[in-house]
Every structure is written in C-alpha cells, then in structure tokens.
C-alpha cells in the first residue's frame, strides 16, 4: 500500500532534487548576496538591505542596457516567430526530400554561439565585411554595424534569428503535423486557399505550441549574451555601450567592477523583468489566438444555424 503511494513521488524526485540544487538554491543564494556588500575577491561584507538595488537603478548604464535588451529582443523574437511559422508551414507541405529540408533548418542550431558570433563578426565588419560589400555594390552607403546603435542591434538580432528560427520552426512543424488532415480537406471543399487554410486552421489549431514558442523565445531573447559579448573585443557593448545587454551589464558588474552584490541585484531585477515580459507575451498571444480562432470560425456556423 505504502509502496504504491510513495513510489510515484520517488520516481519524479530526481528532477525536483536536481532543480532544488541547481535551480532554487542559486536563486535564493543570489537574493542573499544581493542584499549584502559582496566583492568578487573580498567576499561577503555587511548586510546593506536594498542598497545594491538602489545603486543599480541609479546607474544610467542599467537603463541603457535595459533599452538595448528590449530593442534586440523585439528585433529578434518577433521576426523569429513569424518566419518560423511560415517556414514550418512550408515544411508541412508535400516536399520532395522532406527530411533533408527539415534537417537543414536545424543546422544553424548545432553551431556553437561563439562560432556564430565570429562568423557574423566578419560579415558585419564596418569596413571589410561581406554585408557592407553587398550594400555598397547595390549603390548604398555602407552601414557602421559596430558604431550605430540600431545597426548593431539589427546585426546581433540577425545572429540570434539565424540560430533559433529553424529550431522554433521544427517545434511548430511537429504541432502542425498533429492537425487532422480532414479539416484541411473540408476547408478545401469550402473553397479556402492555402493561405486562408494556414491562417484560419493551422495557426489557431497549434495555438498552445505557438504560445510555448513565444514564451520560450521571450525568456531566451531577454538573456542574450554570447552574440553581443563577442561582437567586439572589449566585451562592453561598444564604445558607448550601444549594444550592452542586461546580461552583459551583469557580467561587467561582477567580473570587471568586481561587485557581486550589485551583479546579484541585476540578476534578480532581470528575473522580475522576464516574468513580467513572459506574462505580457502570454496575454497578448492568447488574445490574438482567441480572436483568430473564434471569430472567424464561428461566423459561418451562425449563418448555417439561421
């Protein structure tokens, strides 16, 4: 009796034990560090309450990093999810050599972020980069990818998108394949074209997966580090910190300013920001999904009842 009651909990316990050790403990310990004076070399100092948080919120580079993070996040996550949706829709059709196409969209994901950053660093070179060579060949002015704020954000976002779009497309594709084919058949009989079928059937029916992809890319997008960190050699996000993200700011405080108390405060602020953004993403995507799902599908039904 007892065995049947206890053993299920024992079976799931490894995850929770591990999560407690490598998830909850660091979270709690970071909170503990953040309310102390805590140097990288000097270690724990006096309890200072919310002093570290106050100093972070008063630092203009915190707000600068927050702006950069949100900008790069919007430039990466929005096109990423839209392109992934379209890509998954295309991969869901009767292509020849389907497995080859599906495998190849995942290829960028296999490449280490540091290698991606090095390759794209060459592509986006201000003077001798491939991107500017193409741009000047068309007859436009070369873009200062490492100098201008928006240009640097676009360059970094394109690295992130290159890496993650295919991955998200495959998750969406898996969901699309679970959509019953007879729904498409009857839609086709009703005269719905491919695009109409995609927006009115595919997207509403895989809504939970779309929301999952949006939430995970929100969480990941707000923690971008390797790509902007390796975009120049100093690692501070450019001469004016024009592409320093919040995680890079955290790294700077911890390992350059050597103030782990302040760095921990940033970690917690980032955690709270991500929670807020994830909730907003959830609400927005739920709303958008509901409008598409109900509105369009219920209209002809009402007509039929009449």
Q: Are 122 and 129 in contact (CB under 8 A)?
A: yes
Smallest gap, in angstroms, from Cβ of residue 269 to other proteins?
18
Of residues 44, 104, 136, 239, which one binds other proteins by CB under 8 A?
239
Smallest gap, in angstroms, from Cβ of residue 56 to other proteins?
12
> Which residues does 155 contact at the CB level (< 8 Å), separation at least 6?
120, 124, 131, 145, 231
259 binds other proteins (CB under 8 A): yes
Of residues 10, 110, 233, 304, which one binds other proteins by CB under 8 A?
233
CB-nearer residue toward other proteins: 155 or 210: 155
137 binds other proteins (CB under 8 A): no
- Which residues of the chain form beta strands (DSSP E)? 36-39, 43-47
Q: What is the SS3 assignment for 221?
A: helix
257 binds other proteins (CB under 8 A): yes
Q: What is the SS3 assignment for 50?
A: coil
Residues 19-78 that bind other proteins (CB under 8 A): 59, 61
Smallest gap, in angstroms, from Cβ of residue 24 to other proteins?
32
175 binds other proteins (CB under 8 A): no
240 binds other proteins (CB under 8 A): yes
234 binds other proteins (CB under 8 A): yes
CA distance 175 to 124: 35
CB-nearer residue toward other proteins: 231 or 277: 231
Q: Which is nearest to 184 in space by CA: 166, 168, 204?
A: 204
CA angle 145, 150, 156 (to 5 degrees): 60
Binding range to other proteins, per CB under 8 A, among 193-201, 227-235, 270-278, 288-296: 227-235
Of residues 35, 56, 154, 236, which one binds other proteins by CB under 8 A?
236
Dig out the tokens for 214 from the structure: 């949006």
Q: Write the CA distances from 242 to 2, 154, 231, integer angstroms.
A: 61, 12, 11
Smallest gap, in angstroms, from Cβ of residue 140 to other proteins?
19
144 binds other proteins (CB under 8 A): yes
User: Phi, psi (5° rounding) for residue 43?
Assistant: 75, -160
Binding range to other proteins, per CB under 8 A, among 107-115, 117-125, 165-173, 201-209: 117-125
CB-nearer residue toward other proteins: 235 or 293: 235
User: Hey, how many other C-beta atoms are within 10 angstroms of the C-beta on 89?
Assistant: 20
Of residues 96, 127, 181, 305, which one binds other proteins by CB under 8 A?
127
128 binds other proteins (CB under 8 A): yes
User: Hey, how many other C-beta atoms are within 10 angstroms of the C-beta on 122?
Assistant: 11
Of residues 7, 13, 104, 122, which one binds other proteins by CB under 8 A?
122
Q: What is the SS3 assignment for 35?
A: coil
Smallest gap, in angstroms, from Cβ of residue 266 to other proteins?
14
227 binds other proteins (CB under 8 A): no
Q: What is the SS3 assignment for 46?
A: strand
> Which residues does 34 contact at the CB level (< 8 Å), separation at least 6?
52, 53, 261, 264, 265, 267, 268
Binding range to other proteins, per CB under 8 A, among 17-25, 121-129, 196-204, 274-282: 121-129
Q: Considering Cα of 238, then 242, then 247, then 252, what sign does the dihedral take?
A: positive
User: Which spans of this chain sit near other proteins (rule: CB under 8 A)?
Assistant: 59, 61, 121-122, 125-129, 144, 146-147, 232-234, 236, 239-240, 256-257, 259
């Amino acid at each position: 009796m007892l065995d049947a009651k206890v053993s299920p909990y024992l079976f799931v316990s490894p995850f929770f034990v591990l999560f407690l050790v490598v998830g909850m403990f660091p979270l709690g310990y970071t909170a503990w560090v953040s309310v102390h004076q805590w140097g990288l070399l000097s270690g724990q100092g006096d309890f200072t309450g919310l002093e570290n948080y106050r100093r972070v919120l008063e630092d203009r580079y915190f707000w600068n990093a927050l702006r950069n993070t949100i900008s790069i996040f919007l430039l990466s996550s929005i096109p990423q999810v839209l392109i992934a949706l379209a890509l998954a829709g295309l991969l869901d059709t009767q292509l020849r050599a389907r497995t080859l196409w599906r495998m190849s969209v995942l290829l960028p994901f296999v490449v280490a972020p540091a290698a991606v950053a090095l390759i794209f660093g060459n592509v986006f070179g201000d003077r001798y980069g491939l991107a500017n060579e193409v741009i000047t060949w068309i007859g436009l002015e070369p873009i200062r990818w490492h100098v201008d704020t928006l240009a640097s954000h676009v360059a970094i976002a394109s690295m992130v998108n290159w890496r993650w779009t295919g991955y998200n497309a495959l998750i969406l594709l898996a969901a699309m394949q679970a959509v019953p084919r007879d729904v498409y058949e009857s839609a086709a009989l009703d005269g719905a074209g491919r695009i109409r079928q995609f927006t009115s059937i595919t997207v509403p029916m895989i809504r939970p997966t779309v929301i999952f992809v949006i939430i995970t890319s929100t969480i990941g997008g707000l923690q971008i580090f390797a790509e902007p960190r390796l975009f120049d050699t100093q690692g501070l996000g450019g001469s004016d910190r024009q592409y320093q993200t919040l995680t890079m700011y955290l790294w700077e405080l911890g390992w350059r300013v050597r103030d782990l108390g302040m760095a921990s405060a940033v970690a917690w602020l980032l955690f709270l920001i991500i929670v807020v953004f994830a909730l907003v993403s959830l609400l927005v995507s739920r709303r958008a999904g509901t409008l598409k799902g109900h509105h369009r599908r219920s209209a002809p039904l009402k007509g039929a009842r009449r």
